[in-house]
Chains A and B, each alone.
Chain A
Amino acid sequence: MTCAELEILICDYVDGTLGPDARTTVEQHLAGCRNCAELARDAAAAVAFMERAADVEPPPELMTRLLFHAPWVNAKSAASGVKHWFRKVLHPILQPRFAMGMAMTILSFAMLARWVAPARQLRPSDLAPAQVWAGLEDRVYRGWQRTVKFYESLKVVYQIQSKLRDWQQQQEEETKPAAETQKSGRRTDTHRLPVKGTEEQKSH
């Protein structure tokens, strides 16, 4: 048996899957061939070392990512339009890092508020439905009034309202004098202040 022929058998020999006859033949060759013996020794040592090495475990986040970003999940979400849209909008907010940041901010503010302005202790009477409803109504009313006030005090709103008033007035003026002149046969200037005795002086 040549070394090239033996090379093919060394794998099975190292694996321990050779039959008794082939095994004897290989061992006879190895006993007399230094190069092949060295190859077999190295191969066996490498296999033994690899058996000692721990298996590679995929990280848990990989499994999660594979299952959540799987193509069939994406295809399904693309099909349901509104759901997909919502997910797309909420996606940056629902990131773990962002959510954690938000939670920490809320916690910090809560602690700060407690320290700066300690809240009044909650009493059982505060939880009575009538009390809760009255408080809620009061808050809603106040809130509504505040909103209306804010809206009316807006400069833009005020300008629009005054402009509309002007237009309305102008329109009234245009229609009113025309009707009056038709009745009396002469034009009167409503913008002028009535001057006492003017009409009498003209007739004299």
Chain B
Amino acid sequence: MAAAALAMVSGGPFQERTDSGRRYWVKQSLDLDHSLVERCLSGDEAAWEDLIRTHTRRVYGLCYRFTGKDSESQELTQEVFLRVYRTLRTFRATEGAFTTWLARLTRNLLIDNYRRTRQERLTDSIEEQLPRIEESVSAESRPEGMVAGREASEVLQAGLQKLSPELREAVILRDLQDMEYREIAEILRIPEGTVKSRLNRGRAELARVLRRQKVLV
């Protein structure tokens, strides 16, 4: 069993992440972000537009993967950029990348929103839960391991909602936002070891959820 698992891990479908290429890309985007922030602070409207165009995808992705609701994610994305506008002066380029700062701001807003809407989620009517139930039923009827693309994205979304917020945010930041462990540790303000531990548990829990839905062999 352990040997079989080992074979799956070492010869599995995922590939090694190329660090040298990523490092070059990160440096380029770092310089770009810093100059953008400086232009924004000097009152350049075009720079604000560029900032929004560059980072909306990342912010919305984070919000959507965390909340699982499109309208809520759109509102939260707007709220994030409003906060960026108000608090950009507090960003220090020497203390880290802009993307890390932005992700931390988004994450804090998401956690605030999660706490605020906890009661609403508890009192969710059965009608609202019905589509999710139907979705999971239809997922069960699919052939195993055939899910990909948009369909996989939806199944993954449903699976992520079943994780606790701590595990969910670690998985989203690492596997869907492609962030470094160091950056995630900065965003969540926890040690890197804790990030890795949460990530392992999050990934394993997600795999179990997906297996129950028969989309994972």
Contacts and interface: CB of A to CB of B under 8 A. Distances in A.
A72 B49 CA distance: 10
A161 to B, nearest CB: 59
A78 interface: no
A50 B176 contact: yes
Contacts of A51: 13-14
Chain A interface bracket (under 10, 10 to 19, 20 to 34, 35 or more): 35 or more
B128 interface: no
Residues of B contacting A: mostly: helix
Interface stretch (B4-12, B27-35, B99-107, B119-127): B4-12
Contact of A49 (B2, B56, B210): B210
Interface in A15-46: 15-17, 27, 30-34, 36-46
A71 B177 CA distance: 27
A67 interface: yes
A39 B200 contact: yes
A42 B207 contact: yes
Nearest to A12: B196
A40 B5 contact: yes
B19 interface: yes
Contacts of A14: 9, 14, 203
A154 interface: no
Given A8-B193, A16-B15, A17-B16, A67 B6 contact: no
Interface in A51-108: 51-59, 62-63, 65-67, 69-73, 76
Interface string B153-178: 10110000000000000010011100
A44 B199 CA distance: 11
25 contacts: A7-B196, A7-B197, A11-B181, A12-B196, A16-B15, A27-B6, A27-B10, A36-B2, A37-B2, A39-B204, A41-B8, A42-B203, A44-B8, A44-B12, A45-B8, A48-B14, A50-B171, A50-B176, A51-B14, A53-B148, A53-B153, A55-B153, A58-B56, A70-B48, A71-B85
Interface of A: 7-8, 10-17, 27, 30-34, 36-59, 62-63, 65-67, 69-73, 76
Given A11-B200, A58-B61, 16 more contacts: A11-B199, A15-B17, A17-B16, A17-B19, A44-B8, A45-B216, A50-B175, A51-B13, A53-B148, A53-B153, A54-B152, A56-B153, A66-B81, A70-B49, A70-B81, A73-B45
